[in-house]
Amino acid sequence: MTETVPYGIPLEREHRYDPPAALMALHREAPLRRLRYHPDGALGWIVTSHRLGRLVLADRRFKSRFTAPVKVPVPMPGLEALAGVEGEMPTAPGMFIDMDGAEHTRLRRKLTGAFTVRRTRQLEPRIGEIAAARIDALEAAGPGADLVAGFALPVPSLVICELLGVPYEDRDRFLADSSTLLTMSAEGEERAEANRRLFGYLAGLAAARRAEPQDDLLSDLAADDELSEEEVVGMAVLLLVAGHETTAKMLGLGTMALLENRDQWDLLRERPELIANGVEELLRYVGLVHTGIVRQAGEDFEFEGERIRAGEFMTVSVQTANRDGEHFESPDVFDVSRDARGHMTFGHGVHQCLGQQLARVEMRIAFEHLLRRLPGLRLAVPAAQVPLRTDQNFYGVSELPVTW
């Protein structure tokens, strides 16, 4: 392991879809290495290879529930207030992504049935109707649109709203707050206020569903005697935020990648049976999870010849894992016909994304409709002018001006 200890995870990309050159340089030097997590010199670890990333995320000694002081290798003002705190971090009830062991398993199992392959396939007709309606609206307005506002954001937002039981007309009440929670530069009070608004809004909906159940997931959770009211609300917040933000970013950024690689767009048009495969390649290629996945060592132990100390933080670089030449042949080539299964965009292990099958179905159907209905879709501005969203945990485009 090299003695050079750089600060933080490089986030500045030289090319829109490639990991930062400085991050790939770390990967080539040593797939497991020390990293400075804070300007004060506090050290943690980073793994950049596909093999080691999977090992970390499958190892129960690395925890999702943190003890303070919490330090992460990207600037996050909202965490600075916790730098001097000691002890286990408080976790909002229901937020099982921040839990471990039996506590995590108990809550996650309450949702597993809603996100199985079979259940998501049952949703396909409705997802198709939503995608078709959004394209109808684009066509009715005439050539020229922001594909993020007109398609990439509404499709997954409508799907998760209907599945969960959140009125889509209330979207202005949750879209901005969801965005704040994922913004790295959000200050502590700004983040806390967004949390309060979201939890308050969904607490009201959960109470309404408890009084008058409907055919939706929130009603099912609210009727579960094994869940506290606070847990129901926390789980609903988690599903609402995660259920639209990441898929929306993938649809926007993925469409842009296809439009910039016209041969791949044309290949999917000619061979629509490859679209599901193409979705996996887009998930691998575009680098959605650009800040990585952070875990904390719960005890002292040896890992790949290094001594990991209890309390030390470990970041799994998903970007570099998905570009690891030891796992993917010609990893920097965008090829929708390749077998990209095994990418780490949905994570790995017990915390692997619960909604991954729904996200896959949404993306496949959305791209099917775009390719069939708008075959001449193209960028309306030079690619370099498309505004990128780099200040959040998930990478994407703020807007995507297109025409057809």
* Residues 121, 287: Cα–Cα separation, whole Å: 27
Q: Which two tokens stand for residue 181?
A: 């929670």
List C-alpha distances in Å: 379 to 103, 199, 289: 47, 38, 24
> Is residue 119 assigned to a domain?
yes
**The most confident of 117-121, 191-195, 266-270, by mean pLDDT:** 266-270
Q: Is 15 exposed, middle or buried (0-12, 13-18, 19+ CB in 10 A)?
A: exposed
> Is residue 322 assigned to a domain?
yes
Report pTM: 0.94
> Is residue 6 assigned to a domain?
no
* Residues 284, 394: Cα–Cα separation, whole Å: 14
> Is residue 7 assigned to a domain?
no
How many domains does the chain contain in total?
1
Q: What is the mean pLDDT of residues 288-302?
A: 95
The CATH number of the domain where 209 resides is what?
A: 1.10.630.10
> Is residue 377 assigned to a domain?
yes
> Is residue 184 assigned to a domain?
yes
| pLDDT value at 226 more than 80 | yes
Q: Could you tell me the pLDDT band of residue 142, with boundaries at 50, 70 and 90?
A: confident
Q: What is the pLDDT of residue 289?
A: 94
> Is residue 12 assigned to a domain?
no
Q: Could you tell me the pLDDT band of residue 316, with boundaries at 50, 70 and 90?
A: very high
The helix, strand and coil proportions of the chain, stated in percent and rounded to the nearest 5, come to 50, 10, 35
Residue 49 structural domain:
21-87+95-392
List C-alpha distances in Å: 17 to 11, 118, 123, 290: 12, 32, 31, 10
Tell me: the pLDDT tens digits for 72-104?
Answer: 888 777 665 555 555 566 678 999 999 999 999
State the pairing for strand pair 388-389/396-397: antiparallel
- CB distance 402 to 380 below 8 Å: yes
Q: What is the pLDDT of residue 2?
A: 45
> Is residue 403 assigned to a domain?
no
